[in-house]
Amino acid sequence: MLLLRKFLHGLTPTNGTISPIIRVFLFFVALFFCLTLYARSISSHDPGSAFFKPWSAYDASYSSLRAEQGDTYIDSVDNGTLSNIPKAEKPELCIGIASIARQGVRYLRTTVGTVLEGLSEQERANIHLILFIAHTNASDHPAYSEPWLHKVSDQVLLYNPDEVDIDHIASLETDKAKAAGREKALFDYTYLLKACEVSNAPYTLMLEDDIIALDGWHHRTMNALASAEKQTKTIGASKWLYLRLFYTEEFLGWNSEEWPTYLFYSILTSVLVACTLLSLRQYKPRYTTALSNEIVLLLSLICTPILIGLFFATGRTTMLPIPDGVHQMPRFGCCSQALIFPRTRIPDLVKLYEDKHLGYVDMITEEYANENQEIRWAITPAVVQHAGRRSSKGIFTNEDGGPYVPPRHKSKSELSDVEKLWNFRFERLDPNILRAEHDRFIQYGLD
Q: Which of 314, 335, 366 marks a domain boundary?
A: 314
Residue 92 and residue 85: Cα distance in Å, rounded? 18
Q: Which of 269, 299, 314 marks a domain boundary?
A: 314
C-alpha torsion sign, points 259, 260, 262, 263: positive
Q: pLDDT tens across 35-69, in order?
A: 999 999 999 999 999 999 988 899 889 999 999 99
Question: How much is the mean pLDDT over the chain?
Answer: 88
Is 332 contained in some domain? yes
264 and 238 in a common domain: no
Is 11 contained in some domain? no
Of the pLDDT bands very low, low, confident and very high (cuts 50, 70, 90), residue 20 is: confident
Sequence-distant (6+) residues with CB within 8 A of 176 are none
Is 3 contained in some domain? no
Sequence-distant (6+) residues with CB within 8 A of 383 are 213, 214, 216, 217, 220, 221, 245, 246, 338
Is 426 contained in some domain? yes
294 and 245 in a common domain: no
What local confidence, expressed as pLDDT, does residue 415 receive?
75
Report which of residues 1 and 163 the model is more confident about. 163
Of the pLDDT bands very low, low, confident and very high (cuts 50, 70, 90), residue 393 is: very low
Of the pLDDT bands very low, low, confident and very high (cuts 50, 70, 90), residue 395 is: very low
- Considering its fold, how many domains does the chain have in total? 2
What local confidence, expressed as pLDDT, does residue 173 receive?
87
Domain extent, residue 268, equals 20-52+254-314
Instruction: Tell me the HSE value of 102 on the side-chain side, using a 13 A CA sphere.
Output: 17
Residue 419 and residue 400: Cα distance in Å, rounded? 22
Is 156 contained in some domain? yes
Report CA Rg, the chain: 28
343 and 419 in a common domain: yes
299 and 245 in a common domain: no
Range of lowest pLDDT (117-126, 413-422, 437-446): 413-422
Q: pLDDT tens across 166-196, in order?
A: 999 999 987 766 656 689 999 999 999 999 9
pLDDT tops 50 at residue 3? no
DSSP 208: -
392 and 305 in a common domain: no
363 and 264 in a common domain: no
pTM for this structure? Answer: 0.87
What local confidence, expressed as pLDDT, does residue 177 receive?
66
Cis peptide before 94 (omega within 30 of 0): no
Q: pLDDT tens across 357-380, in order?
A: 999 999 999 999 999 999 999 999
What local confidence, expressed as pLDDT, does residue 431 receive?
97
**Which residue in 147, 77, 61 sits closest to 113, CA to CA?**
77
Of the pLDDT bands very low, low, confident and very high (cuts 50, 70, 90), residue 268 is: very high
pLDDT tops 50 at residue 97? yes
What local confidence, expressed as pLDDT, does residue 67 receive?
95
CA 268 to chain CA centroid, Å, is: 32
Give the Å distances, CA to CA, from 263 to 57, 123, 299, 301, 322: 29, 49, 18, 14, 22
309 and 262 in a common domain: yes
Is 7 contained in some domain? no
What local confidence, expressed as pLDDT, does residue 79 receive?
86
340 and 217 in a common domain: yes
Percent of residues, the chain, with pLDDT higher than 90 = 68
In DSSP terms, which residues pair with 385 in a beta bridge? 212
Is 424 contained in some domain? yes
Is 246 contained in some domain? yes
User: CATH number, domain at 175?
Assistant: 3.90.550.10
Contact 320, 254 (CB under 8 A): no
What is the H or E stretch that residue 72 is in?
A: helix 61-78
**What burial class does residue 201 get, using C-beta atoms within 10 Å of its C-beta: 0-12 exposed, 13-18 middle, 19+ buried?**
buried
284 and 210 in a common domain: no
Q: Which of 314, 349, 365 marks a domain boundary?
A: 314
